[in-house]
Amino acid sequence: MEGEVWAVGAAYEPYIGRWSRPVAAEFVRRLQAAPGGRWLDIGCGTGAVSQAVLDAGRPAEVAGADASEAYVRYARRRIADPRAHFVAGDAAALPFPGAVADVAVSGLVLNFLPDPGRAVAELARVTRPGGTVGAYVWDYADGMQLIRHFWDAVGALDPRARELDEGTRFPLCRPDRLRALFTGAGLADVRVEAIDVPTRFRDFDDYWTPFLGGQGPAPGYAMSLPQDRRAALRERLRALVPHAADGSIPLSARAWAVRGRPPGPSSPTRGARRQDVR
């Protein structure tokens, strides 16, 4: 889609970043990885998952990789923890040796990749046998309400734009598709579960303004419109979203989380000799 961009961290944060952080924290908590492990964060973006790993995963090291040099620079500036480092890298050909990580994860990325199956195979390749591979994506079709309301408003104003709806474009973001993706990569003990977090906006401007940042499909579409059509979309959304008595907008966001294990024995214990992921 023309105008679809994922590169500017400062614009991503108010749109998705602030809501992805609580999802990332819950995702890491549910993985229940042993402390002292080595993690890889693929498609690390602004570093939300890496920060959650540092906060809750008690890792020895976390290495983030993203195809966007701009995001890599943003993550480096934002996260100063010496256990973390960030590199540019393609999810389909990761710049890491095989079987080097105890845990390899990817947050909100798989549906945007041209070959998600190859990316999951790469996650499995860089993870030690018995380690953990995990990912999560937004439930665009239903539970990611801030984006669902946007595309519902777009569809009401311009039925021809319904094909751009992320709920339609990304069928991967459903439990059955995610399970099939992971089992197809040879992962065992595959589980899929929902993660729900509240997304309360202080007022309508707090909800609408991030769509003007141009980061991702919905903001990209909004910024492709001439000013009068963008204003019409804004007012349609204003009428559509729920408002609390104090003027805030109480929504929620659902992500589908999936995890599995490369077949083989459990990962080495903390004291075992390991290859550094740098």
pLDDT of residue 170: 95
Residue 266 has pLDDT above 60, yes or no: no
Tell me the pTM.
0.89
Which of 6-20, 96-110, 130-144, 240-254 is the least confident region? 6-20
Residue 61 has pLDDT above 60, yes or no: yes
The chain-wide mean pLDDT, for the chain, equals 91
Q: How many CA atoms lie within 13 A of 252 on its CB side?
A: 9
* 3 state SS for 28-75: HHHHCCCCCCEEEEECCCCCHHHHHHHHHHCCCEEEEEECCHHHHHHH
Reported as a pLDDT band with limits 50, 70 and 90, residue 276 is low
Nearest to 166 by CA among 143, 148, 146: 148
Reported as a pLDDT band with limits 50, 70 and 90, residue 63 is very high
Helix pair angle (217-224, 145-157), 10° resolution: 30
**Rounded (5°) CA angle 41-46-52:** 55
pLDDT of residue 10: 62
The tens digit of pLDDT for each residue in 185-222 reads 999 999 999 999 999 999 999 999 999 988 789 999 99
pLDDT of residue 13: 78
Q: In the chain, what percentage of residues exceed pLDDT 70?
A: 91
pLDDT of residue 278: 63
Q: In the chain, what percentage of residues exceed pLDDT 90?
A: 83
pLDDT of residue 264: 75
pLDDT of residue 206: 96
pLDDT of residue 219: 93
- Within 166-247, strands assigned E span 188-201
- Kindly state the DSSP code that residue 247 receives in the 8-state scheme: S
pLDDT of residue 216: 84
Reported as a pLDDT band with limits 50, 70 and 90, residue 265 is low
Mean pLDDT value across residues 94-123 = 96
Residue 229 has pLDDT above 60, yes or no: yes
Residue 273 has pLDDT above 70, yes or no: no
Mean pLDDT value across residues 176-181 = 98
Reported as a pLDDT band with limits 50, 70 and 90, residue 183 is very high
The tens digit of pLDDT for each residue in 5-32 reads 444 456 677 788 889 999 999 999 999 9
pLDDT of residue 14: 79
Residue 1 has pLDDT above 50, yes or no: no
Is the Cβ–Cβ distance between 26 and 4 less than 8 Å?
A: no
CA 128 to chain centre: 23
Q: Which residue has the higher pLDDT, 264 or 47?
A: 47
Would you call 125 helix, strand, or coil by DSSP? helix
pLDDT of residue 2: 38
